[in-house]
Structure 1
Amino acid sequence: MERDHNIKPSDKHYACFVDLLSRAGCLEEADALVKQIPIEPNTDVLEALLNGCRIHKNINMGIQIADRLISLDYLNTGIYVMLSNIYSEARKWESVNYIRGLMRIRGLKKTPAFSLIEVGNQVYTFFAGDDSHPGWVDIKQLLENLRLEVEASGYVANTSCVLRDVNESMKVQLLWGHSERLAIAFGLLTTPYGSLIQITKNLRVCVDCHTVTKYISKIVKREIIVRDANRFHHFVNGECSCNDYW
């Protein structure tokens, strides 16, 4: 970049490179790159490395990176949540409770997940586990039908996405209450057959919901677009535009 194009790498460039290495599992190389950055790395760079630690379950490095992040931005709720998720996936529930207690002491709250869908010029909001919608009975029945169909197609629930200390059957139940699934089911019930379904979610789509939505798009023969906190996901016939990278 500097030699051939006279472009001095910015924080965003370093964050992208660290993200690529981290997602590929090259955590040591990513950490070495962070240490080579000529200026103090910003939170985007460190969060990219922390996310890689979460994906590849490197708890020790994740804790070290989280400590650095918290010292830089102790009011950033996302850092605490990601560290809590790392502990949860490792079944370290005492550590999870400690992090959540620390958030309470510091007056921080996790942003609740919700999804939006517009039908007939009206926007409908769904929260995870929300059964308050007037059409809840039909939504619940459709989700149950979809669950049976996707399981028959080979889907196996990724319960590591449920970051609570409950049994496996409850984890599966919680997954099927995620807000984007409720919004998709509502869209299937209230829009013309074959029409595009568009969902907006305030947080990142979890791995299991991403997999399920691919299956659903193929089963119901619908295009589904989900705009999450990171990017657009365009699901068509069992595939996503992100190629499972997000």
Structure 2
Amino acid sequence: MKLNPFESFLKNISETPLLAIEKKIHLSSYVPINISNTNKDLLSFDVSSSKDWENYIEAFLKKENKHVAYGGYLEKRNLYDRSAYFKNLSEEDKRNIHLGIDLWCKEKTKVLAVLKGKVHSFNFNKNHGDYGPTIILEHKIADYNFYTLYGHLSENSIQNLKVGDKFNEGEVIAELGNATVNGDYAPHLHFQIIKDLQGNKGDYPGVSSSKDLDFYKENCPNPNLLLKIND
């Protein structure tokens, strides 16, 4: 698929993969995972239970002999049906198409600034099924001004944070939270690129309805343009 100018710019920022979680976990320890509504394994446990999800992820990683399960960009998921925050009556209006990449790994895994930037905003998004503690970094590179979002963090990650705090590429900015604070999910990082925050602070939609998908695909390009996990 042909890239638009912003996507080409993102892809060319670095020839090598940029890391979102701690460097000691090598990319060879990553494995793709499908948690879309096409995965029949998800019918074998209670998808409304964060503990059952954690058990499923742990068993999947053990079976694959890996440490991180990744994926999810533009993946259509039934998972969000468990939360009134996402569920709507109309299939067209239902927000269930994922706009970031998820990195499923252990609680307290260190989260890194993928690029040099400063804290634009942060928030504890407490709705059931939401991000929990969230950090948004602002980046200015060449002629582009854009943002990266890090969701499902620990509460400690935002305790002493200030708007304007600066981070270098690869610097630790946070750690992953558990289900008690992260929106009631198995521990994972939601990483998303955002071209225009549309006035949001500390939050931005991480899933889209089919009705709005064309806009969000343009505004939230594939995070793997930076992470290059499977290149």
TM-score of the superposition, structure 2-length normalised?
0.26
Higher relative contact order (CA 8 A, sep 6+): 2
Q: Which has the larger radius of gyration?
A: 1
TM-score of the superposition, structure 1-length normalised?
0.25
Bigger strand share: 2
